[in-house]
Structure formats: structure tokens, C-alpha cells
Amino acid sequence: MSNWLKVTYVHSSIGANYHQKRAIRALGFRRLHQSRVVADSPSSRGMLRNVMHLVKVEPTDAPTALFGNQE
């Protein structure tokens, strides 16, 4: 099981309620189609469950998944 999740912001939060907009900002998103790697923790899972209809979630093995192999 991976310890990291790659989350991509795919749908706008216009029209979403206040708590969903706050969850999007707390996950670090500023614009559509932006991707972030977040730790797989209960707090991040709770935020993702709140905005599951706005994001795409994929498990990944390392936090460097967005940048490729840095070695």
C-alpha cells in the first residue's frame, strides 16, 4: 500500500459550498488541472472524501511522482 496520493483538481469549485472550497485550498490547489502529492493520512482522506467529485485521486509510491526520477 502506498503512503502517498497524487491528487489532480479536475472540476471547478464554483457553486460548491464553503467547506468544499476550503478543502480544495487546504489541499494546496490554486487552479484547475493542477496536481499535488499528499500524504495518505486520515486528515487528507477526510478532505478528499469531501471533494471527491472535484478531484481525481491516484495512489503513488513516492512524493517525487510528479517530477519523475530525480537521480
pLDDT of residue 8: 96
What domains are there in the chain, each with its CATH number? 4-60 (3.30.1390.20)
Q: Residue 17 is placed in which grid cell?
A: 459550498
Return the exposure string of 25-52: e unless at least 16 CB atoms fall within 10 Å of the residue's CB, then b. eebebeeeeebebbeeeeebeebbebbe
For the entire predicted model, the pTM comes to 0.82
Classify 60 as helix, strand or coil. Answer: strand
pLDDT of residue 69: 53
Over residues 17-61, the pLDDT tens digits come to 999 999 999 999 999 999 999 999 999 999 999 999 999 999 988
pLDDT of residue 61: 81
